Amino acid sequence: MVEQFLKYIHTEKLFHSSQRILLAVSGGADSMLMLHLFTNAGFSVAVAHCNFGLRGGESDGDEQFVAEYCDKHNLAFYVKHFNTQDYAMEKGISIEMAARDLRYAWFDGLLSKHNLDLLATAHHQDDVIETFLINLSRGSGIKGLSGIQPKSGKIIRPMLFTNRTEILEYCQRLKIEFRTDSSNVDTVYKRNLIRQQILPLLEQVNPAFRRNAMKTVGNLHETGQLFQQRMSEIKTWVYSEDDQGAMIHIDKLLTLYPLRTILFELIREFGFQAEQVDDIIDSLTKESGRQFFSGEYRLVKDREYLLISPFLSKQDQVFYIEENCLKINYPIHLSLEIIDRKPDFRFSTHPNVADLDLDKVVFPLILRHWQEGEYFQPLGMTGMKKLSDFFVDEKYSIPDKENIWILASGNQPVWIVGKRLDDRFKITSITKHILRIRME
């Protein structure tokens, strides 16, 4: 095992023995064996442990276990506690993604702060194959299928020469202690399914399945590099950036194929989704003005170019609704209707419907997020109330508050959309025309 390990580092040119390596150590068998192999080989290492606090006392036990090992072996030990759940909610991403983001950002900081050269993670061959199959099952591209490589940037994976079975055998033989992750999150369930049931069957299809799959992943990785070379050329030709944002030359773009993949590669870094690409392609030969939105960017189909520019910030977004507007689809779906007041008119009590006195509002109406220190007069109340107090009463979380839209007339809130009307714009006995706005 030691020999294989050293040989792998050598043939893959992972690092020089003079370099200082930061080892990401969870306390599991994979990373504990990696730690053992590094220290026994006499390489210069430091240890980083992430405590995601996702498994309560068990997480703390892991931390203590790794800390004690490092103490005993005189190794620099860094630990950080992460509030994964909050970060995931805030960013609207999965716990898994959140943990990944937080972890690598911290590792990156550690490398520069402590003058370390590379980060080593304990990914092994089974991780590669499991990730391949999970990404395949999710729908993926070449990057997702060939993601875990021996070396990428400042990250090295020196355990890719071996697999889970060998790691466990070797740990047992050398009495290397490790902690077992009892978590039963979705990913773990899927990985167990692949490991225990799917892989054995794939080995019936071909006994050399693992080796061949590893070879395939390697081939895809190299193909991906050539694909990226081609994309760089294309980017140089059709794409440019300035202070305003980025622009893509439409006529040039239209001479290229396959359009779908090319366009997606050009705009994915701005957060646009693969599902939007067909619509954008569709707009290329249509009239100018169509807009597409990602989390933080707007893409506009202009005459010569696709123009991509950032929003100021999500919370600063403002949208205007003109008087003749019947419907808006972004950032939320609203339909507008003007109704002549009939004697038998009954206003709606549905929270998604606002019946307003048309003559009291000023166009264009403004759709925006709430502002600190802002007041409104909740329907049925005679006094004014701070929006922040209203939110407290309604027990809204930070993301809840950020996601709420305010429909305003001038600088007065008219409707906390989907929540509460402002009393000043309600229908009264003298209302002649009703503006009915419905959120869909």
**Residues in touch with a second copy (CB under 8 A):** 133-142, 145, 190, 193-194, 197-198, 201-202, 204-206, 208-209, 211-213, 215-216, 219-220, 222-227, 229-231, 233, 257-258, 260-262
Question: 81 or 211: whose CB is closer to a second copy?
Answer: 211
| Shortest Cβ 28–a second copy spacing (Å) | 22
Question: 275 or 287: whose CB is closer to a second copy?
Answer: 275
| Shortest Cβ 29–a second copy spacing (Å) | 23
The packing angle between helices 125-138 and 209-238, to 10°, is: 60
| Shortest Cβ 101–a second copy spacing (Å) | 22
Q: Tell me how far apart the alpha carbons of residues 225 and 305 are, in angstroms, rounded to a whole number.
A: 28
What is the residue whose two structure tokens read 């779908």?
260
**Residue 29 annotated as part of some ligand binding site:** yes
**Residue 18 annotated as part of some ligand binding site:** no
Q: Tell me how far apart the alpha carbons of residues 367 and 325 are, in angstroms, rounded to a whole number.
A: 13
Question: 11 or 17: whose CB is closer to a second copy?
Answer: 11
| Shortest Cβ 130–a second copy spacing (Å) | 10
Question: 201 or 430: whose CB is closer to a second copy?
Answer: 201
Question: 257 or 316: whose CB is closer to a second copy?
Answer: 257
CB burial readout 7-42, b (16+ within 10 A) else e: ebbeebebbeeeebbbbbbbbbbbbbbbbbbbbeee
| Shortest Cβ 324–a second copy spacing (Å) | 35
**Residue 274 annotated as part of some ligand binding site:** no
**Residue 28 annotated as part of some ligand binding site:** yes
Helix (H, G, I), strand (E, B) or coil at 306: strand
Measure the CA dihedral 377/423/400/363, to 10°. -110
Q: Tell me how far apart the alpha carbons of residues 421 and 407 are, in angstroms, rounded to a whole number.
A: 10
**Residue 213 annotated as part of some ligand binding site:** no
Decide: 435 and 336 in contact? Cβ < 8 Å: yes
**Residue 26 annotated as part of some ligand binding site:** yes
| Shortest Cβ 5–a second copy spacing (Å) | 21
What is the residue whose two structure tokens read 């506690």?
81
Question: 257 or 285: whose CB is closer to a second copy?
Answer: 257
Q: Tell me how far apart the alpha carbons of residues 355 and 150 are, in angstroms, rounded to a whole number.
A: 62
- Which residues does the annotation place in the binding site? 26-31
